[in-house]
Amino acid sequence: MLGMLTRRVAASVVTALLASVVVFLLVRAVPGDVVQQMLGQTSDPAAEQALRLFFGMDRPVHTQYFEWLGGAVRGDLGTAWVSGRDVLDLVGGALFVTLELTFLTLILATVVGVPLGLVAGIREGKVIDSVVQSFSVIGLSTPIFWFGLLLLIGVSAVLGWSPPLSYESPVQGLGANLQVMVLPVLSLALLQAAAYAQFVRQAVISAVGEQYVVTARAKGMPERVVLFKHILRNILVQLITFGGLLLIQILGGAVVIESIFGLPGLGRLLLTSISARDYPVVQGGLLVVVLMSLLVNLVIDVLYRVIDPRLKVG
């Protein structure tokens, strides 16, 4: 298992490197850069040149890349060109917010989606199944941002409440933090719960037809046990894998939600830094995103092997 693990990690590192190269080249593929943005149209060419030198933009691309990479492996992602702040700091702070959003969403989606899927699967064809399926299909069709906006105005119109304007971390004030997060999490979680419910339902329906379920019933086990012990344990691996996929999807969806609700997360940071052409922030931010995504996949692979006894070697 250790051998496989090192191989996977190595492959992930290679992928991350390739991805970083892609990002690096991509930002430099377009004309117009941060300097022009910062100084405006009517700028003095000499000033522009000086800034470019300061940012190291005069040097050949591959040199810039290796310098950046060298710094990155040491944990130094450079400084933002627009604000001058340390990129790692910036990204770290934003990452915290996004991670909070992501995990809260995943938890809510799991708590709502999985039980619905289980019930619908075991009672296939009955009313509850149709209800869950309708919920799934509508949830999957709903645009997240539309739903977020509707929630915002709906809550404001009906309850006369709107979330606080600025983000507060749970360390600073749990109450305020929850107030800020509740609507964003709800908006994101709907879609994911719908996806989870549909997946779990399908997994249960497949499992129900399996022979070991018949055996369990033949032993006289009550339906509750058949479902929660036998079937659930068998589809656990699939559930976790799917959870990982959802996690990555939520990361993507977080971008829009952060934009709507004004959360200072990684998504919003990327949006602003991309439009400002602040390369170090864009590179650093995207690198972190890619690393997280690869990490999630790696963790799932490991969990997969730990949970399914058929895959345990030796």
Partner 1 sequence: MLTDPSRAATERDDGPNLLEVQDLRTYFATDERVLRAVDGVSLSVAAGEIMAIVGESGSGKTVTGMSIMRLLNPRTARFEGGSVQLRTRQGKVVDLLSLPEKEMRRIRGSEVSMIFQDPLTSLNPVFSIGDQIIEGILQHSEVSKADARLQAADLLSQVGLGEGKRLLMQYPHQLSGGMRQRVMIAIALSSNPQVLIADEPTTALDVTVQAQIVELLKRLARERGMGVIFVTHDLALVAKMADKVCVMYAGEVVEQGVAMEVFLRPQHPYTVALVGCIPHGPSEDRLTPIPGHAPDPLKGLVGCRFAERCQHALPKCVQGPIQLRAIEDRRAVRCVRVEELS
Partner 2 sequence: MSTTTSTMTRQLRRLSRQPGTVVGLVISFIMLLIVAAPGLFTTVDPNEFDIMAVLSPPSREHWFGTDDVGRDIYSRVIYGTRVTLGIVLGSILLSALLGGILGLISGFYGKAVDMVCGRAVDVVLSFPPFILGVMITGILGPSTRNLVLALAIIYFPTFFRIARSGAMTEETKVYVEAVRSMGYPRTRILTRHVARNVFPSLAAQFMVVFPLALQIQAALSFLGLGIQPPTPDWGNILESGKNFLLGAPWMSFFPGLAILLAALATILLGRAAQRAADNQ
Q: Binding partner of residue 314 among partner 2, partner 1, none, CB under 5 to 8 Å per kind?
A: none
What contacts 24+ positions apart, CB below 8 Å, involve 61-65?
A: 61/24, 61/25, 61/28, 64/24, 65/21, 65/24
**DSSP string covering 47-81, please?**
HHHHHHHHHTTTS-HHHHHHHHHHHHHTT---B-T
- C-beta of 23 vs 80, nearer to partner 2: 23
3-class DSSP state of 31: coil
CB of 133 vs partner 1, minimal distance in Å: 18
> Which residue ranges make up the site for partner 2 (CB under 8 A)?
11, 14-16, 18-19, 22-23, 26-27, 29-30, 137-138, 140-147, 149-150, 152-153, 156-157, 248-249, 251-253, 255-256, 259-260, 267, 270-271, 274-275, 282, 286, 289-290, 293-294
> Which residue ranges make up the site for partner 1 (CB under 8 A)?
125, 210-212, 214-222, 230, 233-234, 236, 307-310
CB of 223 vs partner 1, minimal distance in Å: 9
Q: Binding partner of residue 214 among partner 2, partner 1, none, CB under 5 to 8 Å per kind?
A: partner 1
- Crossing angle between the packed helical segments 87-122 and 266-276, to the nearest 10 degrees: 130
- C-beta of 45 vs 220, nearer to partner 1: 220
CB of 116 vs partner 1, minimal distance in Å: 21
Q: Binding partner of residue 271 among partner 2, partner 1, none, CB under 5 to 8 Å per kind?
A: partner 2
- C-beta of 16 vs 302, nearer to partner 2: 16
Residues with Cβ < 8 Å from 231, sequence gap 6 or more? 122, 204, 207, 208, 213
CB of 217 vs partner 2, minimal distance in Å: 25
- C-beta of 225 vs 248, nearer to partner 1: 225
Q: Binding partner of residue 209 among partner 2, partner 1, none, CB under 5 to 8 Å per kind?
A: none
**DSSP string covering 128-156, please?**
HHHHHHHHHHHHHHS-HHHHHHHHHHHHH
Backbone phi, psi, residue 142, to 5°: -75, 125
Q: Binding partner of residue 141 among partner 1, partner 2, none, CB under 5 to 8 Å per kind?
A: partner 2
3-class DSSP state of 168: coil
CB of 179 vs partner 1, minimal distance in Å: 42
CB of 111 vs partner 1, minimal distance in Å: 23
- C-beta of 152 vs 307, nearer to partner 2: 152
Q: Binding partner of residue 211 among partner 1, partner 2, none, CB under 5 to 8 Å per kind?
A: partner 1
Q: Binding partner of residue 267 among partner 1, partner 2, none, CB under 5 to 8 Å per kind?
A: partner 2
In angstroms, the Cα distances linking 117 to 197, 203, 224, 226, 227 are 4, 9, 15, 16, 12
CB of 219 vs partner 1, minimal distance in Å: 4
**Do residues 83 and 93 lie in contact, with contact meaning Cβ atoms separated by under 8 Å?**
no
Taking the C-alpha atoms of residue 187 and residue 101, their distance in angstroms, rounded to an integer, is: 11
| CB neighbour burial string for 292-311, b if at least 16 within 10 angstroms, e if fewer | bbbebbbebbebebeeeeee
